[in-house]
Structure 1
Amino acid sequence: MADNSSLVGGEFLLRQINDRFIIVQLLVMIFICINVLLIVTFFEKECFYTTARYMFFAVTLLSDSLMLILSDILLILNYFQITMQVWICIIISVVALLYLIVTPVTLTVMTLERYVAICMPLQHGELCSQRSALQCILIIHGLSSVLCIVVLSTFFASASLSLYEQYRICSVEIFILHKWQAHLRSAISQFYFLIMCIIIIFSYVKIMKVAKAASAENKTSTRKGLRTVILHAFQLLLCLIQLWCPLIENAVLQINLRLFIDVRYFNYILFSVAPKCLSPLIYGLRDETFCHALKKRAFFGLYKINI
């Protein structure tokens, strides 16, 4: 009886979320096209891929685009109830988990770059050179992989060998075999963001002090630096909320299944899909040099006449 009611409920929910599935696919296609336009613009000029802040910006673009594609693939597989072997799912999930952390870590590094540019202008050229930026990108990936290493280690220690050959619907939650693993992953994620928040607040306070002491000529650049730090803080807030979403959804699931579907759809659109495009686009449009290059690319070179 329970099995029959669960099947009927599943079919009902499938019909209900059909239109939402189509909307998500349209949004993902639009956002991927926008991100591709931003990435192509980045590789068009040498000044972009040889300057630290643009290089970090490109890392966030590539990371967000990859996360957008992977999350949409997992959504499609879940929607059509397509299963795969667990070891394949592990590979996909590890990449998704890594780049879920890469974006906020990179945003934090971009905040530090603005701090160095405004508060330590004489050292900026040396500390934020192309070579230093490349080394920093490797460090970003190393720091971001800590969560993956911990999650994989606890999973390999708990999972039986037969599990890897089983066919299941792929989800990042496949790593959670015991409740303590979920608590450990959550604790590490919160520690990441605690450190990031401290760095953002430290940078904001230091730049604010420089802004108050700056001459009239330098006030414009310092104020722009403050606005950039605030933007990074907002982007990090969205990333933090995205990590909290599974906890909220699990709590709602205990109350009502229909409400769980609505909340999960809302969270996915607002905190997963939209920030992957809108935040990088806003950041790109705020930079005058990148904005001109973006408009030139968007209007197929015709914008060059107006510059």
Structure 2
Amino acid sequence: MNSSTRQDSLRDAFTKNFISFSLGCFINVVNGAFVYIYFKNQVFQRDPRYVLYIHLVINDMILLTVSVALQIVTYTVPLRVAACCIMLLILTTTNKISPLNLAAMAVERYIAVCRPLHHAQICTVQRAYALIALIWGVSVTPFFTDLFILLATQPPSFFSGTIICYPSYVYNTPHHKTHSVTIQVLLFSFVFLTLIITYLKIFCAARAASGSNQASARNARNTILLHGVQLLICMLSYISPFINIILVAISPRDRTKILLVSFLLTGVLPRLLSPLIYGVRDKKFSSHIRLHFCRKCHSSVEKRVNRTGPRRRSKREFD
């Protein structure tokens, strides 16, 4: 996406940045509403399921903000390598956190359905926060490995220069490519196997259960299926460069448009899935959202009426 900046006119560049910025703001506002409801009601903060869910939402907000900011920066001001590395630290770390968080949520649903008597002891809020810290530690480690390779292969003058801030431009050695492929394969293999195993276990539990337990197991099974959909979308961000190469080779005149659509489909719009899939589907979350915002609308109407005073009736109304 960033490599096309020099081929764009001022109007095209403004249009692209405006679309990305507008969509990013809209999605962050939607996500922010769920974060606000979470911190407004302590009932969510005492449930490890919602702790993991809101962590996923906040992570998506950070990832979306940095992605859009990075796109705008590459169109406006040159970025030094040191500043670019800081932005890539946030970008690559949050990008790896999403699939790991999905795996953690799937395991929590598995324990709730298949080990209900042990769920309260195993899945606690304290352990959820400890798991989040572990996810951050695992996700940030590959960045420092890439940075050490960069320090070993590049001269000191490289870090004082400017560069197009895109991972493939900064980490462009064969060692970086090998390291990146290895991490991606290990990461997604682990998450994919976790989702498959938990889904099969919950599927068997749903067939063996009856009544309300069967409905609960069915909901958990559907949730893990949605985890799988999100994982596939996360994988699109890694294979999108190869798709872009093929599409650009087919239609080189539409290169900048292809890169924009690819960025929106793999980097921006997927950040809207978390609130839509979990917040809207979850009865407790959706009921609190309706209750809170309907109460806000009702109170604003009452304030407006009290400010203007009661409406005077005309003589015709009394007659």
Both proteins in one fold, TM over 0.5: yes
Quick check: 1:105–1:140 contact (8 Å CA) kept in 2? yes
Superposition TM-score, scaled by structure 1 size: 0.89
Instruction: Name the structure 2 match of 1:222.
Output: 217
Superposed, 1:47-196 pairs within 5 Å as: 47-80=43-76, 82-196=77-191
TM-score (norm 2): 0.86
Counterpart of 1:273 (choices 268, 274, 293) is 268
Structure-2 change in CA distance of 1:124 and 1:65 (3 Å): same
Change (3 A) 1:105 1:12: closer
C-alpha deviation, 1:251, in angstroms = 4.8
Percent identity among equivalent residues? 26
State the one-letter code of the partner of 1:65.
M
Aligned equivalents of 2:271, 2:7: Cα separation in 1: 31
Counterpart code for 1:63: N
Partner in structure 2 of residue 28 of structure 1: 24
Residues 92 and 216 of structure 1, relative CA distance in 2, 3 Å threshold: same
Partner Cα separation in structure 2 for residue 215 and residue 39 of structure 1: 35
TM-superposed deviation, 1:46? 0.9
User: Does 27-36 or 197-206 show the bigger shift?
Assistant: 27-36
CA distance in 1, matches of 2:29, 2:194: 33
Unpaired stretches in structure 1, ≥5 consecutive residues: 1-6
Instruction: Using the TM superposition, give the Cα deviation of residue 257 of structure 1 relative to its aligned residue in structure 2, in angstroms.
Output: 4.0
Q: Quick check: 2:57–2:274 contact (8 Å CA) kept in 1?
A: no
The SS at the match of 1:274 is helix
* Matched-pair contact (CA < 8 Å) for 1:77–1:169: no
- Structure 1 residues 261 and 274: CA distance shift in structure 2, 3 A: same
Alignment partner, residue 236 of structure 1: 231
**1:291 Cα deviation after fit:** 0.9
Match of 2:40, SS state, is coil
Deviations 1:75-126 (A, max 9, x none): 101222x112211111111111100011111011000000000001111101
> Could you say which residue in structure 1 is the equivalent of 2:316?
none
| Residues paired across the two proteins, number | 296
1:191-210 residue pairs with structure 2 within 5 A? 191-210=186-205
Match of 1:258?
A: 253
Q: Which moved more, 1:205-214 or 1:177-186?
A: 177-186
Indicate how the Cα distance of structure 1 residues 68 and 130 shifts in structure 2: closer, same or farther if over 3 A, else same: same
Correspondent of 1:44 among 40, 43, 52: 40
- Alpha-carbon distance, 1:129 to partner: 0.6
Unaligned runs of 5+ in 2: 300-319
- How far apart, in 2, do the equivalents of 1:213 and 1:197 lie? 25
Question: Which string of whole-angstrom CA distances, capped at 9 and with x for unpartnered residues, describes residues 219-246 of structure 1?
Answer: 1101000110011111111001112112
- Give the Cα separation in 2 of the matches to 1:268 and 1:162: 31
The 1:259/1:194 distance shift into structure 2, 3 A limit, reads farther
Cα offset, 1:179, TM superposition: 3.7
Question: 1:281 & 1:38 partners in 2: Cα distance?
Answer: 10
Cα distance, 1:298–1:265 mapped onto 2, change above 3 Å? farther
Counterparts of 1:217 and 1:50 in 2: how far apart (Å)? 23
Match of 1:19 in 2: 15
Q: Which has the larger radius of gyration?
A: 2
Q: Deviations over 1:198-230 (max 9, x none)?
A: 010000100010001002231110100011001
Is contact 2:81–2:162 with CA below 8 Å preserved after alignment? yes
Q: Provide the C-alpha distance between the structure 2 equivalents of 1:147 and 1:303, rounded to a whole number of angstroms.
A: 50
Task: Give the aligned residue type for 2:142.
Answer: L
1:292 — aligned with what?
287
8 Å CA contact retained: 2:81, 2:160: yes
1:93–1:57: structure 2 CA closer, same or farther, 3 Å change rule?
same
Segment drifting more, 107-116 vs 263-272: 263-272
